Structures are given as C-alpha cells and as structure tokens.
Amino acid sequence: MTVTFYKYQGTGNDFIIVDNRLQQIDKNNTKRIEELCDRRFGIGANGFILLENDKIADFKMVYYNADGKESSMCGNGGRCIAAFAKYLGIISSTAEFEAIDGLHKARINGDIVYLQMQNVETIEAYKDHTFLDTGSPHHVELVSQIEAFDVKQNGAKIRYGQPYGRAGSNVNFVEQLSNDRFAVRTYERGVEDETLSCGTGVTAVALAMHKGAKTNSDEVSLKTQGGELKVKFEEDKDGYKNIWLIGPAQQVFKGEIEW
C-alpha cells in the first residue's frame, strides 16, 4: 500500500510523520518503522510519528523511536506534529492533542511552535547529576568543554548502566553559558546515539538547573547542536507547572513509501 509521509525537523531532531486518521498503518510492524528511520537504507529520522483521530482532542500523537518501538513523550516531535496538523488544516493556530503522557496544548506562530509539557513534581537531585521525567526519563549532568565531550560513549555508559538498566534513560550533558542560558548535548534512548536536540531533554535541563539554583530565571535558553530552544515554567509548592517548550519546527519534504 502506498503511504504519503512528511519529513519534519525541530532544531535538528527529525521525524517521519504520517497522517494515520484512516488507520492504514500496521503499528505492530516495528521492523518497517526501524527500516524507514535508517539513515542509509531508509528515509532517515530520529523517530516516527502517527497523527490519529482522538475522541476528545484535536488529534492524537503516537511516537516511535528509531528502533521501531513505541516510546514515551517526544517534545520536539510534539512541536512538529502541531505544525503538521496546521499544514493539514486540522487546526488553525492553537491545538490540544493527546499523547502517551496526556493532553498537550500547542500554539503556532509562523515557524515557532509553543508546546505545553506536563507538570513535573518529582526531581531527584544527586551530588553529580539530576534525574527527572518530563514525559520521558532524563539524566542531567554538568560538564565542561561540552563541544569536545564524547557524548555517545559517555551517554551510552550511563544509559545502560545502573540505576537505569535495560529500560534506560536519556542522558543530557550541560554547560552553563550565562545565568539563563545553557549548552545541551543529548544521548537519546531508542536512537542510541546523540541527537541534535531533544525537547523533553532541554525541558529537563531547564528545570534541573532552576531546581539546583544554577539559574534564578523562569525562562531559560538552551543552545543545542540543532539550534536554540527556550523553556518557560512556573515553580510552586508542588514542583513545576505551566511549562512551555518553544522553538522552530519545519517541514523538510514529503514523499511516498510502500508500507
């Protein structure tokens, strides 16, 4: 069966997106998803996203990592699917969509997409790192000379090591650039490599840096290999709420595949 796909990228985190409102895609074919995400034998992407109908929300997002397995929430993918929904005419400039971690609001202003993330109430702060879940699990640790840092080797060691084990975690390495700006490089679970940016990752970094008093700003800029992202939030007695991930999302090309 011929299926039209759309390639999107959000600060270099790239995705194959398919309009699956007619439920044509066999979601159990993880091998096919992995093949399509392959950079050589397929289209190439960090993840595969289905847009589907939802009983209550404007649409539903189903996210798969490049390994073909359904995954936890993808922040940059959430920004891209909102832009895609606008392109399809499903929404105008605001959306509410269902994802694996619940309902998300989105706002689109040209190429910039604002995505509301779930509240975060638990942040585990340790001596040398912080762990929190912003829709996906994230290990956050400060390093120096981040541009020369071996993200893949060090990221894999943490991702597969204790306490994360097989389930693993995404791993974010951070260098502070100013009071409210940080450089971030992320090793992504399910991609098993560094990605040019990670939306739930930079969200985790912003909250971890605020929690750790590295910044007193509730609007933090994150410099990633794929471009600039911003995270805004409010802290209250229960943790963090009204969290917004902000950045560009673009359609790169569209094509057809045999499914």
76 is an interface residue for ligand API by CB under 6 A: yes
Shortest reach from residue 195's CB to ligand API, in Å: 6
120 is an interface residue for ligand API by CB under 6 A: no
Which residue lies nearer to ligand API by CB, 76 or 221?
76
Which of 9, 20, 71, 221 is the binder for ligand API (CB under 6 A)? 71
String of DSSP letters for the chain: -EEEEEEEEETTEEEEEEE-TT--S-TT-HHHHHHHH-TTTSS--SEEEEEE--SSSSEEEEEEETTSSB-S--HHHHHHHHHHHHHHTS-SSEEEEEETTEEEEEEEETTEEEEEEPPB--EEE-SS-EEEESSSEEEEEE-SSGGG--HHHHHHHHHHSTTTTTT--EEEEEEEEETTEEEEEEEETTTTEEES--HHHHHHHHHHHHHTTS---SEEEEEETTEEEEEEEEEETTEEEEEEEEEE-EEEEEEEEE-
9 is an interface residue for ligand API by CB under 6 A: no
216 is in an annotated binding site: no
Residues serving a catalytic function are 74, 198
68 is an interface residue for ligand API by CB under 6 A: no
Shortest reach from residue 232's CB to ligand API, in Å: 16
80 is an interface residue for ligand API by CB under 6 A: no
Shortest reach from residue 13's CB to ligand API, in Å: 5
Which of 20, 118, 170, 224 is the binder for ligand API (CB under 6 A)? 170
Residues that bind ligand API (CB under 6 A): 13, 65, 71-72, 74-77, 136, 170, 188-190, 195, 198-201
